[in-house]
Structure 1
Amino acid sequence: MRILGVDIGGTMMKFGITDEQGIIEQYREYPTESKKGGPYIVQKVINLISNFTDFDAIGISTAGQVNQKDGSILYANENIPHYTGMKLKAILEEHFQVPVKVENDVNAAALGENYFGKGSKYDDFLFLTYGTGIGGAIVMASKIYHGQAGIAGKFGHMITHPNGILCNCGNKGCYEAYASTTALMKKAQNVDAKYIDGKIIFEAYRHSDEKIGSIIDDWVEEIALGLVSLIHIFNPPAVIIGGGIMEQAILIEKISTRVKYLIMDSFRHVEIQKATLGNKAGLLGAASLHLK
């Protein structure tokens, strides 16, 4: 079976045809131009898919909340205007006359890891991505647990600091307000405006910058505190962590060490693993929707 995987992100969209082994052919990337809105993006996706031939199905990974019943966009924030309500599955099936499946981007990335990556040896695991915010997915029996409304896994919005920092969601003290990459950047830039990305921060850390070392240690503590709560709730065999910042090899070790120190003894079997598929996880996960 040949499946066209499409990953619609806020900045870039990715396309590629993959087989059942996850070997990607004809991989291409294009700017999303998200501010032009949902109708523009959907027409752009149609135009770009038309450049591909010889595929049996389409799998879509997309930003926003997805209605699992009809493959429409249940909710998308202002980053993609007028995307909420787009009947993505119906539009693409009508146009291309092949089966189409649609999944949220973080859920798709978790499925990519489960089918082709680090999660392939687990039937159950939690998946988190640390970036602008914190995305989450719950994998049970190698399937996404969606919850009653189809939007389970909003780990970034569990409250870790009551009455704390105001989050973009409107609540105070959310996990992502303290443990996202954005939160790390804000703290680092309070020390020095030159710390504009993770690479610069960790370069300073490797050169024993004490102020940055303290900031990173505090940030790791915030990450670990959230993970401990999730591990105590779900009791998973593994937690798989993704996001560009997690490419820093020392981070997984530091997070794992801190989590193992904080959790109850009976939960210490849990493995903290780094995601392995990088920016192709969503595309591969979208394709796997037709393989499961």
Structure 2
Amino acid sequence: MFLSFDIGGTNTKYSLINEYGEILENGSFLTKDNKEIIFKNIKEITEKFQAVDKNIEGLAFSMPGVIDVKKGHMITGGALYDLYDFPFKAELEKYIGIPVELENDVNCVALAEKWRGNAKECDNFICLTVGTGVGGAIYIDGKMVRGSEYAAGEFGFMITDRRENYEEASLSMSGSVRGGLIQTYARKKNIDWQELTGEQIFEYAATGDEIAIKTIDEFYTSLAYSIYNLSVSLNPEKVLIGGEITKREDFVKIIEDKIQILKKDVCPLKMPKIERCKFLNDSGKIGAVYHFILNNKSRKN
């Protein structure tokens, strides 16, 4: 048995998961940007499960930011600034007395897909998550690609077009739900973006709102251009996309159509298959357990 935690900027989700990746129990708590509070919550939850099941082998973590997975050291921590440059694994193991492993959240999504999802048969695939920003993971030749500073897959920092404002031109702004849809639409309409949701913008487009229609098209175009560039650069078998927005029935088809236009005019190479990720809110937790299992197997060998 493993206790797996998906630590986000707002909430932390946790599950009791067995060695086959099956979720047996779920829970969550609010995330505070304070390492002492985070550790205290983790310890309380762990002790609660230990009182029922003494055979918890370890704690697995899906975390935001750039992580040195060999040391379990948080280089950055996304919106959790108290975790920047922090030896998370060493400190938590000392505090709680149980083996700990941690991995970047989108890498965990990719690992979940490789273990039990839509990439089980793939040795070469990339993963994107589309939400508040855009995250990425690269799995090539049967291995996770981490890069020289453990920051491979930070697709959100790619520049997608020639806007003068480079931040707005980044994929995490132009191809995310918050930046590419909500903030872009609000800017064009001169309204408060915090009053909007992505779903509302799709509803406005369905009623003929030309600004909503154009904003959605620009959003899809930014994603399609980026996926095309990644595909010709990395030559994956599949591109797997996660995030709530991928539940839209036409999501994959629109991106595929835009990529085929690019391919027809520019590139003779075969494009990878584009699919939704199999797991949504549970991806990080499942992938974190797989990372724990792989890491400890390699250490034993």
Q: Provide the aligned length of Structure 1 versus Structure 2.
A: 284
Matches within 5 A, 1:1-292: 2-34=1-33, 37-53=34-50, 54-77=55-78, 79-162=79-162, 164-167=164-167, 173-182=169-178, 183-189=180-186, 190-191=188-189, 193=191, 196-263=196-263, 264-292=266-294
Give the drift of 1:290.
2.8
Q: Which amino acid aligns with 1:3?
A: F
CA contact (8 A) 1:239 1:270 kept: yes
Question: In structure 2, how many angstroms separate the alpha carbons of the residues matched to 1:117 and 1:219?
Answer: 27
> How many percent of aligned residue pairs carry the same amino acid?
27
Q: CA separation of 1:102/1:236 partners in 2, compared to 1, >3 Å: closer, same or farther? A: same
Question: In structure 2, how many angstroms separate the alpha carbons of the residues matched to 1:251 and 1:164?
Answer: 28
- Cα deviation code 1:88-123 (max 9, x no counterpart): 211232344433211011111111122122222322
Q: CA separation of 1:288/1:15 partners in 2, compared to 1, >3 Å: closer, same or farther? A: same
115-124 vs 236-245, which deviates more?
115-124
CA contact (8 A) 2:159 2:166 kept: no
Question: In structure 1, how many angstroms separate the alpha carbons of the residues matched to 2:141 and 2:58?
Answer: 24
Give the drift of 1:284.
0.5
- Cα deviation code 1:229-250 (max 9, x no counterpart): 1111001111111122222221
Give the drift of 1:141.
3.9
Question: In structure 2, how many angstroms separate the alpha carbons of the residues matched to 1:39 and 1:162?
Answer: 43
CA contact (8 A) 1:165 1:174 kept: no
Question: In structure 1, how many angstroms separate the alpha carbons of the residues matched to 2:174 and 2:125?
Answer: 23
* Structure 2 residue matching 1:70: 3-state secondary structure: coil
CA contact (8 A) 1:128 1:134 kept: yes
- Cα deviation code 1:136-178 (max 9, x no counterpart): 11012443210111111111112233463242xxxx7322232
Question: In structure 2, how many angstroms separate the alpha carbons of the residues matched to 1:107 and 1:150?
Answer: 11
Question: In structure 2, how many angstroms separate the alpha carbons of the residues matched to 1:142 and 1:185?
Answer: 37
CA contact (8 A) 1:108 1:286 kept: yes
Q: Which amino acid aligns with 2:171?
A: Y
Structure 1 residue ranges without an equivalent (≥5): none
* Structure 1 residue matching 2:81: 3-state secondary structure: coil
* Structure 1 residue matching 2:29: 3-state secondary structure: strand
Give the drift of 1:265.
4.7
CA contact (8 A) 2:6 2:63 kept: yes
Structure 2 residue ranges without an equivalent (≥5): 295-301
CA contact (8 A) 1:38 1:81 kept: no
CA contact (8 A) 1:135 1:154 kept: yes
Give the drift of 1:214.
2.3
Question: In structure 2, how many angstroms separate the alpha carbons of the residues matched to 1:132 and 1:91?
Answer: 30
Q: Which amino acid aligns with 1:240?
A: L
Give the drift of 1:39.
3.1
Report the RMSD for the aligned CA atoms in angstroms: 2.1
Give the drift of 1:68.
2.0
